[in-house]
């Protein structure tokens, strides 16, 4: 431990001890955590409704205000004091005087600490500097804070501490609170957009008998009563498509998914997605819905379709670019030509040069995808749909009628990362059964992310599923984009962390 951190640790312990002593004294006088105080106003509404009035006008109107919040700032000036209170909406100042509160109450207030939650009743006034303020007639301690808040000039700057102690991050950093308010608004507008188009929100199981719906490594748990393993879902896809078979023509689920994979600035073991399915639709219709959902989310979060992300502009207003895998490689790597992209030997050599690993496949489409992932994906800044994925990497997508080996599938990339995935769904039960068998062969060969054979899903398809379009959008990554967040941990309230 450094000398500075040791001193800070000692200071914190001293302050905690002092506050515990105050708490003990308060307990002797009554309950320092009383119920019963009911705030009648919040800071934002007070500023919106009364900021425009002048000092004399407010004095004439004698407007009552009852507020509560965490005391973030305190200035004691003899017989009068100022306190800044933070509530769930913002901040409001209170003016406290010995004359109006009485000597005993005012003296008690002087011993309140930064971080305490207090309630104030009074009338609105403006100070000499024009700041809207509650002129207190009553003040009450509602909840005593034992731990001191971080020092006001430096705030809570340790990134790991912000993730571990999100409650403290929300107290100290208005920017963090704003991210999660925007996240809620984004999810709400996605719901409203889909419900306006006759989509039905549903809930499907989070514990599966077999994992499915995506190629990913699952988390495994155990059901004691049934004495059997269960898997936390990697995706709800197969259950949602069962509902399409059942006649629910348009369904969506905003869901938590769990994948037992690595951690990074864009990966968390549990994450949120919106998945939706529409009968008698295809992947082109899904691209249209994707654009609509992204734009509506940007309007509510940013009030603009031209946004800033990490000091670069992202244009969401123009139609999203639509490119095949080979078109994207050629557009963003002008030194390459189409003859090279149809040469298996060249592709293998190029991929090995970039990854230092020899590709094991001889599939032209898969090799083109592997090259795209290495030399093009990170260059896709403005929204770009990458279409026509190989059948080998798309076990649930419908194969193109006129291009064997290619599926009607897209992925949306923005700021160099995948944001959405959609396709025309495979509704041929025999074709789907064959794809599952191929996945099982890959799993038997050691691929931990390959799918299991889902016999019940095949049985559902055998009853007949209409042509269907499906879409999944990563909510966390969408929020990252629209709040200018560099890491997925910035947009998840309680991201996964190693134990302290």
Q: Return the SS3 of 350.
A: helix
Report d(CA 246, CA 275) in Å as an integer.
17
DSSP string, 474-494: EHHHHHHHHHT-SSGGGSSSS
Specify binding-site residues. Answer: 411, 418
What is the DSSP pairing of strand 132-143 with strand 91-97? parallel
Cβ atoms 265, 487 nearer than 8 A = yes
Nearest to 325 by CA among 286, 291, 373: 373
Report d(CA 378, CA 465) in Å as an integer.
37
Cβ atoms 461, 239 nearer than 8 A = no
Specify binding-site residues for Mg(2+). Answer: 411, 418
Distances (CA, A) of 343 to 281, 323, 340, 347, 448: 35, 20, 5, 6, 30
Q: Quick one: tokens of 39?
A: 């705030």
How many secondary structure helices (H) and strands (E) does the chain include? 17, 18
Report d(CA 187, CA 297) in Å as an integer.
8
């Amino acid at each position: 431990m450094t000398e500075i951190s040791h001193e800070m640790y000692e200071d914190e312990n001293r302050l905690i001890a002092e506050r515990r002593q105050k708490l003990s004294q308060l307990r002797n006088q009554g309950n320092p955590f009383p119920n019963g105080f009911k705030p009648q106003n919040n800071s934002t509404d007070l500023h919106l409704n009364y900021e425009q009035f002048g000092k004399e006008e407010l004095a004439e109107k004698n407007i009552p205000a009852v507020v509560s919040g965490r005391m973030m700032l305190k200035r004691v000036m003899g017989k009068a004091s100022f306190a800044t209170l933070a509530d769930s909406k913002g901040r409001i100042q209170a003016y406290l005087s010995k004359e109006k509160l009485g000597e005993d109450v005012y003296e008690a207030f002087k011993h309140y600490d930064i971080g305490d939650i207090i309630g104030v009743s009074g009338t609105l006034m403006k100070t000499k500097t024009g700041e809207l303020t509650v002129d207190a007639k009553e003040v009450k301690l509602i909840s005593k804070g034992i731990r001191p808040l971080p020092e006001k000039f430096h705030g809570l700057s340790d990134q790991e501490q912000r993730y571990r102690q999100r409650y403290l991050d929300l107290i100290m950093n208005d920017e963090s609170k704003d991210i999660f308010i925007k996240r809620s608004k984004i999810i709400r507008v996605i719901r409203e957009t889909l419900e306006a188009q006759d989509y039905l929100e549903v809930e499907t199981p989070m514990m599966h008998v077999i994992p499915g719906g995506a190629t990913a490594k699952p988390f495994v748990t155990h059901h004691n009563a049934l004495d059997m393993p269960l898997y936390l879902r990697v995706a709800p896809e197969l259950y949602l498509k069962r509902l399409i078979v059942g006649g629910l023509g348009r369904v969506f689920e905003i869901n938590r998914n769990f994948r037992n994979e690595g951690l990074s600035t864009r990966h968390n073991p549990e994450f949120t997605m919106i998945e939706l399915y529409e009968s008698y639709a295809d992947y082109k219709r899904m691209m249209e819905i994707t654009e609509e959902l992204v734009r509506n989310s940007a309007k509510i979060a940013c009030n603009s379709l031209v946004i800033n992300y990490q000091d670069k502009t992202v244009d969401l207003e123009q139609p999203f670019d639509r490119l095949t895998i080979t078109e994207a490689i050629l557009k963003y790597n002008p030194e390459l030509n189409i003859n090279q992209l149809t040469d298996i030997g060249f592709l293998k050599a190029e991929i090995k040069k970039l990854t230092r690993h020899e590709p094991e496949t001889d599939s032209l489409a898969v090799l083109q995808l592997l090259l795209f992932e290495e030399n093009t994906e990170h260059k896709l800044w403005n929204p770009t749909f990458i279409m026509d994925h190989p059948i080998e990497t798309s076990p649930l997508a419908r194969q193109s009628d006129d291009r064997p080996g290619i599926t009607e599938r897209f992925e949306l990339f923005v700021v160099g990362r995948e944001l959405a995935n959609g396709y025309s769904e495979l509704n041929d039960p025999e074709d789907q059964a064959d794809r599952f068998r191929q996945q099982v062969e890959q799993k038997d060969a050691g691929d931990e992310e390959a799918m299991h054979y889902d016999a019940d899903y095949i049985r559902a398809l055998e009853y007949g599923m209409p042509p269907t379009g499906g879409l999944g959008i990563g909510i966390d990554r969408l929020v990252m984009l629209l709040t200018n967040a560099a890491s997925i941990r910035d947009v998840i309230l309680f991201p996964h962390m190693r134990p302290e």
